[in-house]
Chains A and B, each alone.
Chain A
């Protein structure tokens, strides 16, 4: 049984308790039972004074609809029917003649939030886990159980629209502030408090039915209720969405439209419109891809390598970071923000000062945007201390090396570290491409050596690559994975190889962009087409961001490690030698002022001119350009699978989405490849190999195998 009903002292209680699950979901089955229960109640409410809706799960009210069921919708009619079915049940709840109270002591998301909205009252607890929201847009759909209709009517248009369009959850306190819940109660003694609350309703100390809108004054009232105010709210929301999504994600726009068109409609017609919008979106590729990405990220949040289930991760409370540069400073900031004591070492105090400054800048912006109060930021900042010797390393439980990308330097550093840290301290290198195995050679007890590759900027990029060597112990892997999760990152486990996973694939793409450029392609056009494909920035903008020197260096490493197909496009070398180092130097492919991108650097096209050969680029069009850049990544990813650098296609997709911003609406690189089909990809790669006379396009055997067996990366 997933639903229980009981009556005590004339108060009915519906208790949600989905069997064999940590959370409550509104599955089709649960909804059916709820429907039947409400039908019963409708004919039977005379004796009841009130109806409570509660959850038996810890920290969860109802986590939403069953995403599997949404993912399974293939026909619009089916989607519309599902939405309508839910809406009808919630209408029944809303139409009961007795006060109804949703008691929220945990997350109330999507359908769970919509169910609560159909109640007359909502109360929540002071439990920090309380989170209420409508995250549907994140899955490429809109709320389908009356959320777009009810939320703006309960908390007002501007707040309601904000929640629907952003998909963000709000805390109990915020919910109280915007009027989404009527009261907050302590968890302890909740039953008594709820009892008193119901008494208050009975004694008419509270309005029998709360007015649909909390009384607002001034600007909020103007925005919520006047025609002009509403127009402004919708226009601003649309503008913000377009700015954020660049138009790649239809759901938030459709959500705005759904609210806008139904704001003055009655319930029946408004819900009708909502169901149609929901169904329309639920069948799109984009929604399916976003659901896929959601599943991937959930999976990787819980990822434990096979065979290591029994190993308990060790807790890391004290870390040492070697190198106070961009990466070292960024890592120290990240660790301190998670309240981990961090000892940062560099060769002189001026370097330490730079690292501290970089860290504080991030905190400063958190203070500015009110994510942290000043005292909180200072307290976190205080977790970082600097040193120029290895003092403080003697009790470090983990060391993260982030010095210059040079094998000799790194080996020297690890030789020193291995003598000063405890014997069981985990040794991590933040190298982006160098061999972890080689570094492990100089370390006492190399089973504790592992790669922990952060992406720049550290505090923003959600991915870390964890690189295991043949000697890395399962304990080290498990502890490092847990550590990565603890500091808020999504880890992927990669076998030590040249370039690991993300850089290997990404550099193939950047290098190809370089070839296009030196063949006479226009830099801005190449960047634009990739942005149109959905990448957050073009390949040249990205290179500027990373630093042309850094990119070129990594490309060199890949070339020497992986061979001919990574031969760097000549143009990179020439640009690098001209001193165009990218954003940090103020000039690269583009010019930068105060950290903002400006005009393109006219010199680049000049450098490219003598290199261009019309023969090659003749016949090239934008479509082919995109194919060259994307398919070469697919080919490299297939090679990584072939070499068992990673275990599955999902790892590639998580890595590319979280490490490079590969567009989530495409579901990931290999999910995209599956959509295109092996036949088309292999065919095109062969054609390019032939036309450009370069082995870098030669499809790898993994790809050919898939094509031959009519298989795809995922199936």
Chain B
């Protein structure tokens, strides 16, 4: 019992550390407001310069020479307060700061800005729509941006755990991230489960054949084959498989169709699953073969053989189970690598799973989506490893000490 408390506590601690790292990286390396809201100011469309560091939009006018940079840490101004800025100076205010030329009086090097003009939604020429500015304020509340980082993290974690992953900001009217994940996750999960299933189904007989004929030509060929599979990068393998089986031979469909019935979706998933499964099978085979060879040298195997148990029965009934331990460990550890591989492979076989979603999100810098997917994947990985521990200790109670 104590062992399980310790083990689960460790997993939770790891998950916390992982989420802290992820969220921290997003907030420290990136820019929280930009990350959460995306290019609200639609920088590309304004005529002036948009400073990503400070969100200032210099609109079509040329009033103060040089870009107006606005520092996010500065306080807000009162309405109608007037301040003086030199060209290139910093203005207080945040993403909603948009200065229309009419509100800037230029006197030599010094521009005076009437801050009535920098209130949200006022004096926008080519900047964001007033509606978007409302989004900014809303998001600041939604993501607790005025709180310090630790508080923000705790609140975000609370939201995340209760299933609120925030909005997508890539296009208007997209469903919240939670819905996107609900739609995409089952496809990626199916891919991963199929891949691990095939990997195991291929690896065990492969290892049994190789181990029972250790160092024979068959074994040497199989060792070399597994080496090739392990060395071959998964994206390259995916392209080769797609070219040969899908395009040249036409055995498998070229794309995944989410509307098809389950059976045909599984069929469409075969090629991507095999892309991941074959290298994984090679890894497992390699390990299992070594362990099997070691087990086959044990005395109890010799004993069984001398009692007249057939080779096959010795392999299946006596040698396999004690050889499975390191296979199970690696099965868990390898899941992480396979998830990474699945993200890439999905993109080649056009499977609209999490891998596609993360690429689409990265392209438009949709960080809530990236964050959610990273968190889910990391959590899955940690959970799978705990499960592996459970299975492990069921097979071998000694682990619990």
Q: Specify whether A and B are partners.
A: no
